[in-house]
């Protein structure tokens, strides 16, 4: 091998060496930056592709929000991370994830976000529904449940309580709609009322225990048509982990109550209005069973829910 060939080989080796070292150096820096970013933001729940500035807002512009979110969840799973402009939102669409948020980590997720509406109209979290989780909340909640919503007070204030009028009347309208759509169910309900109450008097609260089928009709109505389809937004001040994913501090949580109670993995024939699924079933709608949560659950569950 001539001297010039040898020099050529050395030059190639040097250039290869320099490039390899540079490539490793670059990789090292990239990994360091990636690690730092990952450390800061963690492993977020999955979600649809986002755009600069608006985040994932463009996925939500058409259709009803709870329908759209249910559709997106079919692809990305029961816990999703959405950035709506500058606002980070965790969207929950299954009973297992709801149990995690409303039970296992209720102490972290039980606050409420401040919104323009709650600040301007409701006086910066002074009302119960939008109060952050603080001493004021605990006091108002106690007064609400022990004084304002005691049976005696309900009888007095029945017509002036604003919080639940829309939800309650909507539920009645949905029940009537489903009964008109299903004459056989209407007949069965009428025959229960005839047997237990008769035709001479109206139903009283004390009768409800004996009206099993009526209770099942109400539960099935609330399952298919929860009055507050996306619940009231929750807010977490602390960073935490849910199902192995990192959720950062100052995040809103949206519970798609509509999607949860129509989950085909939990409910057989979920779109069918069938009150008999609640007969002889331990599943109730009061917030202990995460398969159906029309009143939410945990610290922020609806205080207007009666027994």
Q: Which of 46, 274, 293, 59 is nearest to 182 (CA)?
A: 274
Element (H, E) at 168: helix 165-181
Rounded CA-CA distance 183/193 in Å is 15
CB of 145 closer than 8 Å to CB of 304: no
164 is a contact residue toward ligand HEM (CB under 6 A): yes
Minimum distance of ligand HEM from residue 180's CB (angstroms):
19
Residue from the set 146, 156, 168, 288 that interacts with ligand HEM by CB under 6 A = 168
Q: Does 171 bind ligand HEM (CB under 6 A)?
A: yes
Min dist CB 192 to ligand HEM, Å, is 21
Burial 209-231 (b: 16+ CB within 10 A, else e): eebebbbbbbbbbbbbbbbbbbb
Q: Does 304 bind ligand HEM (CB under 6 A)?
A: yes
The answer to whether residue 132 forms part of the interface with ligand HEM (CB under 6 A) is no
Q: Backbone dihedral region of 55: left (phi > 0), alpha (psi from -120 to 50 degrees) or beta?
A: left
Q: Which among 267, 235, 263, 264 has a CA at the least distance from the CA of 251?
A: 235
Answer yes or no: is 302 a known binding residue.
yes
Nearer CB in complex with ligand HEM: 59/111:
111
Q: Of 20 and 168, which CB lies nearer to ligand HEM in the complex structure?
A: 168
Which of the stretches 3-11, 203-211, 221-229, 259-267 binds ligand HEM when contact is defined by CB under 6 A?
221-229
Note the residues at the interface with ligand HEM (CB under 6 A): 128-129, 141, 149, 161, 163-164, 167-168, 171, 226-228, 231-232, 294-296, 300-304
């Amino acid at each position: 091998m001539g001297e010039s060939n040898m020099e050529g080989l050395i030059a190639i080796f040097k250039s290869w060496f320099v490039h390899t070292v540079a490539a490793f150096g670059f990789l090292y820096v990239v990994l360091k930056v990636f690690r730092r970013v990952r450390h800061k933001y963690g492993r977020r729940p999955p979600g649809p592709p986002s755009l600069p500035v608006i985040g994932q807002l463009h996925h939500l512009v058409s259709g009803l929000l709870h329908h759209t979110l249910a559709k997106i969840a079919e692809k990305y799973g029961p816990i999703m991370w959405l950035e709506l402009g500058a606002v980070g939102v965790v969207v929950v669409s299954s009973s297992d994830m709801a149990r995690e948020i409303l039970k296992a980590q209720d102490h972290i997720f039980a606050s409420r976000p401040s919104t323009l509406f709650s600040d301007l109209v409701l006086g910066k979290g002074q009302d119960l529904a939008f109060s952050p989780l603080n001493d004021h909340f605990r006091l108002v909640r106690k007064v609400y449940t022990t004084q304002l919503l005691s049976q005696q007070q309900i009888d007095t204030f029945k017509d002036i309580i604003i919080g639940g009028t829309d939800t309650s009347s909507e539920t009645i309208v949905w029940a009537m709609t489903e009964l008109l759509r299903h004459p056989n169910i209407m007949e069965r309900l009428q025959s229960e009322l005839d047997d237990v109450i008769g035709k001479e008097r109206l139903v009283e609260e004390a009768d409800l225990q004996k009206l099993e089928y009526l209770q099942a009709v109400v539960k099935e109505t609330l399952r298919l048509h929860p009055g507050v389809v996306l619940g009231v937004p929750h807010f977490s001040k602390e960073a935490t982990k849910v199902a192995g994913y990192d959720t950062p501090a100052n995040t809103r949580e949206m519970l798609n109550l509509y999607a949860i109670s129509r989950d085909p993995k939990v409910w057989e024939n979920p779109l069918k209005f069938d009150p008999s699924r609640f007969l002889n079933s331990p599943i109730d709608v009061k917030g202990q069973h995460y398969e159906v949560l029309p009143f939410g659950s945990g610290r922020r569950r609806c205080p207007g829910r009666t027994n």
